[in-house]
Chains A and B, each alone.
Chain A
Amino acid sequence: MSLEEFLLEKKSAILKRWFDSILETYPSDTKQFLRTKKDRFENPVAHRISSGIEGIFSQILNDAKVEDASPFLDKVIRIRAVQDFPPSQALAFIFDLKRLVREAVVGDTREGQLSEELWRLEQKIDEMGLLALDIYTKCREEIYELRVNEVKRSVGRLIERANMICGVPEKEEDPEVCSTDNLT
């Protein structure tokens, strides 16, 4: 039996434990809400996390390229990047999968047969961890970009109208037009 078959067999149990372990990172009142509220529109965090980790797990099962898991990782990380987590904690859930798979394998009669493949799986999860770091960083960069863009949008037209934008002129222009003195 291959590890792939083993994981397929244990898929729902591992996913449930994975989801639970992510919920553990939230305060107890929140955990209860995330676990019990089933409507996907009233509980988007749980919905996105569960569909995200299911996607990640399927990618592992399908032996797809690590990069293919990107949209699913993004689904979860995009949320955790704006919640109250330090980066290490926001991304810890990926590495937690190693523990969950190990725990499922340990004690199973097929443990011996799977060790080689398990090592490869863990390597893949590590690679996903690195990809997750890229995604997390991108999300944070986007937040800073949003801040800059919003400020630009809020007064952009005004500056344009007031001839206060000092771009490259089409023709020779009076240098005073580019002055920002009027701003004060």
Chain B
Amino acid sequence: MAKVAPPEELSRVDYTPPKKGWIDKPAELKEGRWCYGSKPKDHEVVGLPNPRAWSPGDEDWKLPDNWQEIFLDGLRERLDKFRTFRIFMDICVRCGACSDKCHFFIGSGDPKNMPVLRAELLRSIYRGEFTTAGKILGKVAGGRKLTYDVFKELFYYFFQCTECRRCSLFCPYGIDTAEITIIGRELLNLLGCNIDWIMGPVANCYRTGNHLGIQPHAYHSMLEFFCEEIEEITGILPEPSFNRKGAEILFITPSGDVFADPGTFTAMGYLMLFHYLEGMGLDITWSTYASEGGNFGFFTSHEMMKRLNSKMYAEAKRLGVKWILGGECGHMWRVCNQYMDTMNGPADFLEVPKSPLTGTVFENAQSHKMVHICEFTADLIKHGKLNLDPSRNDPYKVTFHDSCNTSRGMGFFEEPRYILNNICNDFHDMPINTIREQTFCCGSGSGLNTDEIMDLRMRGALPRANALQHVHDKHGVNLMSCICAIDRATLQALVDYWIPEVEVSGIHELLGNALILEGEKKRTMNLRGEEFPWVEEEEEEAAEEAALEVNLEAAEAEAEEVAAEAAEEAVEETAEETVEEAAEEEAEVEK
């Protein structure tokens, strides 16, 4: 009879993962962790290589025969082209300062999500294929060869990085791990390995101007629809203009604001703000061609980013505007503020942005000529140009999620908070090491806002959710505001899973609630069409008062009736008495 281990021993399953160096441990590509592969039609539209139907779950990724040569040539080219990239490949001392700063590592516990190790995936190939020490000593010198499994591992982990740059904030050498991911994704692109959620929007954006591929008439129609909703709420119908030549300002916002909730409510906020200001001299137009502020080319390659971005200046030039105003967006803002001028400039046909309402010159936008709407609105409030009733946002206890690109990428901290403190009465920041430049990513940026990796996104979202939970417990926060379209779309899933009591909004949605339009009717609901909680109370009070009035009237009427009856009775009695008396008198006379 076979020897059976005692029950205690049988029940003690050792779950400890085996101790192995990361190089020796091949990546296991798990479903639900990788995004769907890009479609051939989208490659063809923009001319990207290797269009074919494939899935990261397949054994064979249908790479060209000389795939290693293509990859290594691409790597060599980028090492020569980008000095920063070469330095980042050489300089890391693996101190580990960045290792526990990534939201994906914090939430998942997968060591290959440590920024240092994610970068090391590519750095090891650089060493193994390009440096003498690495070529000779291999693993001892931290080098390895580019194999099929290694290539798959690169894909797996470079699409588990949101390019949020939190890690780079803590690197003593200033290594920007996001840039390594950017280059890594470019190299994957050379072999046609991108994800559907990025390539679909890229192809759509290239053909129709926005991620969903919405044509101009549908874009126009959606905004008209919002205007009708605004009319229902306020009694005022905004009349925005589209593609209007000669306007002073061109407004460009992420298409998510126009099509996806809750961004749509933010778009309503923009429309209301522009309507309010038009009477004061704002001359602004929307464009149905430059109908996308976002740029998924940024998550594909530098060249693709440039191609998709070019429509902004082109449309500004076509319409003859003086400057560009940008909606609430994160990566759009980084692309516009930091790359656009270099890529598609000089924008010498535009003027340095100057607010027509306050006269403020936006010196920070001298070169690229584009202003973020939060800068614009904060300036309006500062100059007392907006008539606001923050109490309309009283149902909300608000916090603010700093988007990675606007905050860490740009130092954009105060404007959104300044606006919030003027449009709502109850604002609470999350803990200091989770906001501003140390902000935690939503877990879905850089094209990872797709639903097939929801597990991964929820792990990445945990650090943000945990900080939000804190202010929810401590202050009763029930609304997380943000200034990024991807955030607005994806934070909703985050709160639904981690803290269902909280909602997500853009800042201009709250501004739309608070803004008092001239001639508006009494507001009874917010931009979401939700009735203010005090409306019911007011209605009840009014009903009670009305009922009281009716009762009083009824009581008065009754009293009058009673009095009349009494008087009548009295008259009758008197009459009867008189008759009786007369009869008596008559009888006496007769006697």
Contacts and interface: CB of A to CB of B under 8 A. Distances in A.
Contacts of B365: none
B459 A82 contact: yes
A55 to B, nearest CB: 14
Of A84, A145, A155, most B-chain CB atoms within 10 Å: A84
A44 interface: yes
Contacts of B454: 143, 146-147
A153 B434 contact: no
A168 interface: no
A70 B192 CA distance: 47
A110 interface: no
| SS of A interface (majority) | helix
A83 B461 CA distance: 12
Contacts of A40: 466
Interface string B25-41: 00000100100000000
Classify chain A's interface size.
Answer: 35 or more
Interface in B26-80: 30, 33
B348 interface: no
A34 B496 CA distance: 26
B530 interface: no
Contact of B496 (A83, A146, A151): A146
Contacts of A11: none
Interface string A132-162: 0000000100110111011101111110011
Interface string B488-503: 0110110011100000
Contacts of A124: none
B111 A161 contact: no
Interface stretch (B100-108, B519-527, B547-555, B581-589): B100-108
B539 interface: no
Interface stretch (A23-31, A57-65, A169-177): A23-31
Contacts of A42: 100, 106, 433, 463
Given A41-B467, A143-B454, A29 B431 contact: no
Contact of A41 (B33, B225, B455, B463): B463
A157 B260 contact: yes
A44 B261 contact: no
A47 B107 CA distance: 12
B110 A37 contact: no
A45 B462 contact: yes
Nearest to A145: B496
Contacts of B467: 41
21 contacts: A24-B16, A25-B15, A28-B17, A29-B111, A39-B433, A41-B431, A41-B466, A41-B467, A42-B100, A42-B433, A44-B462, A47-B466, A84-B30, A84-B33, A89-B15, A150-B489, A155-B259, A156-B260, A157-B260, A158-B212, A158-B222
